[in-house]
Amino acid sequence: MLLDVLLTAEEKALKNEVRDFVKNEVSTELIRKMDRDEITYPREYVKKLGEKNLLGLRFPKKYGGRGLNWTGEIAALEEIGVLGTALGCAFAMPSIVGEALNRFGTDDQKENFLKPLLKGDLVSAEALTEPRGGSDFFGATTRADLKNGTFTIKGQKRFVVAADGADFFIVYCNTNPQGKPHERISLILIEKDRPGVEVKYLYKLLGTRGGGTGRLIFRDVKVPESNLIGGLNQGANIFNSMMVPERLTSAGASLGMGRAALEVAIRYSDRRKAFGQKIRNFQGVSFKAADAIAQLDSARALTIAAGKAVDTGMSTARRLVSEAKKVATDAAWNIINLSMQIVGGIGYTNVYPIEKLLRDARLIQIWTGTNEIMNLLIQHEFYREVLGDSSPARLIEADAEEAGAADEKVYIDEDMWTKGW
Ligand SMILES: Cc1cc2nc3c(=O)[nH]c(=O)nc-3n(C[C@H](O)[C@H](O)[C@H](O)COP(=O)(O)OP(=O)(O)OC[C@H]3O[C@@H](n4cnc5c(N)ncnc54)[C@H](O)[C@@H]3O)c2cc1C
């Protein structure tokens, strides 16, 4: 199995520990109730994860983490991912919010927020997206004005997971409207019980239900300056760091979602018969399974490679993380679709969980940065790497038979329009 090659013994043990948790501690009823929107946030599940010391695995032990690296967390995320997006996200959120607190928070913030977060005593949410848009991070219009040691916050955020359910939010606010885009934003921690904080609207979602996704409104909310995370106008820098857990947790959990659907399809195709034989005997079926298996392993390998790149501080980490998010979430979507096709009509019903995984998985191509935004980053980084390479590999352009045909190597420039050939 691929993971035997990629994981250490310690990481495999963690994976098995999380697999046992998923198998024994999470009831089918919880999943069904969340999907029926009968539960707005799975708080007890988060508490149980905290009790088992499974939240924020990467963070130092002194704050309640396990001091592990990304590879271990990705292995854990694959196991959690089989539960679907909402429970996967509830597991991932302390890793995302914790990144900001652990790297940029003050001692007090670590004591009062990071520690209880990792115990599952407090629930957090990240509020970046606004009604005006999510992709354009620097366009945030939620204002935070600092005067005499107090921020006054005014604005709205939407599509915030755990808007209903969280005890505190970390909110990207515009603190410097006249500044350059990357010097405009600050990250501010806002407790839910502050006057002027309102959870306005819980969305009716295609999937990922039960995660408390809603709209937040801040009406002149007063927050002490000590709630600032990192420095004033340092939001861009913090977001660059938070991008990593945002995207790697989406990638890691999507591995589990794809795997879960595929395993249902594999078992089904070994039982179901048509034309007098098991459907798995038809290449039209088994080759779909092969396509799904190969996509799953490719996504696993890339996601773990991206995690290792982050752990070792490689310069290509940013590109690899974006690639992992795009490739793994697209793979999950494809694999779930292939699995549904293998199962046929009954796969489209709620007799099997594939339809729920399909509804859940559609989101992961959109959130934590759309896959178009991943493309933006991937190509940008790669152009920079290739064009900035001071010691490039063999220039194979010179190997072409007619490599010297300078007249044919035309790269149109302005002159040609004015001067002609
Ligand atoms: C259920 C759910 C939960 C969510 N949870 C959270 C959360 O907890 N916290 C949070 O802050 N946000 C959350 N989001 C928001 C999510 O991250 C955004 O929806 C996403 O980033 C896209 O932003 P948008 O919807 O405003 O689309 P827009 O930014 O308006 O983009 C619309 C389309 O244009 C494309 N586009 C935009 N700019 C470019 C470009 N430069 N190049 C190419 N294409 C581009 C996008 O890819 C997309 O296809 C959640 C969303 C949902 C639906």
For ligand 1, pick from 159, 238, 246 the residue to mutate: most ligand atoms within 8 Å of CB.
159
Q: Is 48 exposed, middle or buried (0-12, 13-18, 19+ CB in 10 A)?
A: middle
Decide: 162 and 183 in contact? Cβ < 8 Å. Answer: no
**Integer angstrom CA distances of residue 393 from 386, 390, 396, 399:** 10, 10, 9, 13
For ligand 1, pick from 35, 126, 367, 371 the residue to mutate: most ligand atoms within 8 Å of CB.
367
CB of 367 sitting under 6 A from ligand 1: yes
CATH of domain 236-387: 1.20.140.10
Single-letter amino acid, residue 307: G
Q: Where, residue-wise, is CATH 1.10.540.10 in the chain?
A: 2-123
With cut-offs at 50, 70 and 90, classify the pLDDT of residue 414.
low
Q: Model pTM?
A: 0.96
User: Two tokens at 394?
Assistant: 């063999």
Query: What's residue 120's pLDDT?
Result: 98
Q: Hunting for tokens 């900035």 — which residue is that? A: 388
Decide: 159 and 213 in contact? Cβ < 8 Å. Answer: yes
Q: Is the pLDDT of residue 257 over 70?
A: yes
CB of 161 sitting under 6 A from ligand 1: yes
Q: Tell me the sheet residues that pair with 150.
A: 147, 224
User: Two tokens at 3?
Assistant: 């993971």
Report CA(405)–ligand 1 centroid distance (Å): 47
pLDDT digits (tens, 9 = 90+) for 30-60: 999 999 999 999 999 999 999 999 999 999 9
- How many angstroms separate the CA atoms of 71 and 225, rounded? 36
User: Domain 2-123 classified CATH 1.10.1530.10?
Assistant: no
With cut-offs at 50, 70 and 90, classify the pLDDT of residue 4.
confident
Instruction: Say which CATH superfamily domain 127-235 falls into.
Output: Butyryl-CoA Dehydrogenase, subunit A, domain 2 (2.40.110.10)
The total number of residues shown for the chain amounts to 421
Report CA(130)–ligand 1 centroid distance (Å): 9
Q: Where, residue-wise, is CATH 2.40.110.10 in the chain?
A: 127-235
Report CA(133)–ligand 1 centroid distance (Å): 7
pLDDT digits (tens, 9 = 90+) for 275-333: 999 999 999 999 999 999 999 999 999 999 999 999 999 999 999 999 999 999 999 99
With cut-offs at 50, 70 and 90, classify the pLDDT of residue 412.
confident
DSSP 8-class letter at 112: I
